Amino acid sequence: MFTGIITDIGTLASRDGGRFIINASYPAASIPLGASICCDGVCLTVTSVQAAGPGSIFAVDVSNETLSKTALGAWQPGQNINLERALRAGDELGGHIVSGHVDGLATIVDIRPDGECRRFLFETPSHLAPYIAPKGSVALDGASLTVNEVAGTRFGVNLIPHSLTATTWGRKAIGQSINLEVDMFARYVARLMEFRP
């Protein structure tokens, strides 16, 4: 489990098919083999790790299913990645409960300045739109964000300056595909409603 609070911006060092090598500032000694790290919103398992100065280089293996359902298939060396370590008992829950299981891809259709903040507008697949509500939560490329407005299959979020610099969101562009995880509770409520007598 994760909270959607990004704790590092990693860099994709290389990839070989479904094996990705990522540079991070996390100390290598703090990452056990088998650890879960959320990479742009996708929960991945660390398969190897080594020290790189004060930071680390770790490997993850990504299945064809994940490559086909997320934005990871388009990753190229040099790309920056939002990273978050798995939640530990007693940690502050600063965002919302995030599983790291991506539901689909949203597309950035507009970016506008709003004072020092930046407003993003997204187009989401129609089957996911019912799970997105104004003032509800979504995870976009792993970051926990609050939905400002919803209109059909489009929704908007507003990012403050800190979020733009502490994550990869300050580097996003119109047309980019973004990993989207809808709120877990919205998903379960909708499922329960299907069986309502």
Interatomic CA distance for residues 164 and 189, integer angstroms = 32
- Mean local confidence (pLDDT), 95-111: 94
Pairwise pLDDT comparison (4 vs 196), residue with the higher score: 4
Structural domains of the chain in order of their starting residue, each with its CATH number: 8-85 (2.40.30.20), 104-194 (2.40.30.20)
Strands 55-61 and 117-123: unpaired
pLDDT band at 184 (very low <50, low <70, confident <90, very high): confident
For the cut 80, the answer to whether the pLDDT of residue 143 exceeds it is yes
For the cut 80, the answer to whether the pLDDT of residue 192 exceeds it is no
For the cut 90, the answer to whether the pLDDT of residue 155 exceeds it is yes
Question: What b/e sequence results for 134-145 when a residue is b if at least 16 CB atoms lie within 10 Å of its CB, and e otherwise?
Answer: eebbbbbbbbbb
Nearest Cα residue to 104 out of 60, 139, 151, 80: 139
pLDDT for res 190: 76
195 Cα distance to chain centroid: 31
According to DSSP, the residues that pair with 36 across neighbouring strands are 45
CB 37 within 8 A of CB 60: yes
Please state the length of the chain: 197
- Mean local confidence (pLDDT), 60-89: 94
Nearest Cα residue to 60 out of 29, 30, 83, 37: 37
